[in-house]
Amino acid sequence: MPRSRPRTISGGVPQDNERGVPHAKGYIVRASELGRWAYCRRAWWLRYVAQVEPPPSGQARLDEGQIRHAEHGRGIERAGTLRRFALACLLLAALIGLLCLLVALGQSR
């Protein structure tokens, strides 16, 4: 099957086609979309250019993957928050330790 090329307007910029797919200005390419393209360019073309939906079994797997990615993203956000909290606690402990040392030195004089 021959590969189709996107139509272009003057200057070689891809033209927004009737379906508003990847060639539209302002289109955001997602990591999952890049993964699909790398795995199978034809499957990517069918999904995003021809807009042919995957079979129900495939859609269920995609939905499950999106849920898992969302959970993973929340976990990463939580880890970042906990890291900032731990650094703040470490800084506070260092300041308290320094204060205790200064007080002890002041009492020994």
Number of domains into which the chain is organized: 2
Structure-derived torsion over alpha carbons of residues 79, 82, 84, 89, reported in degrees to the nearest 10: -150
Give the model confidence (pLDDT) of 49-59 as tens digits. 888 877 888 88
Assigned token pair, 11? 């200057």
Same structural domain, 68 and 85: yes
Backbone φ, ψ for residue 21 (5° rounding): -105, -165
Report the chain's terminal Cα–Cα distance, integer Å.
90
Same structural domain, 1 and 43: yes
Range of the domain at 30: 1-52
**Residue 39 — very low, low, confident or very high, per pLDDT cuts 50/70/90?**
confident
- The per-residue pLDDT for 16 is 42
More reliable by pLDDT, 32 or 97: 97
Same structural domain, 15 and 34: yes
What is the C-alpha to C-alpha distance for residues 6 and 23, in angstroms, rounded to an integer? 8
Contacts of 45 (CB under 8 A, 6+ apart): 3, 4
Mean pLDDT of the chain: 79
The whole-number average pLDDT for the span 58-82 is: 91
- The per-residue pLDDT for 65 is 86
Same structural domain, 99 and 66: yes
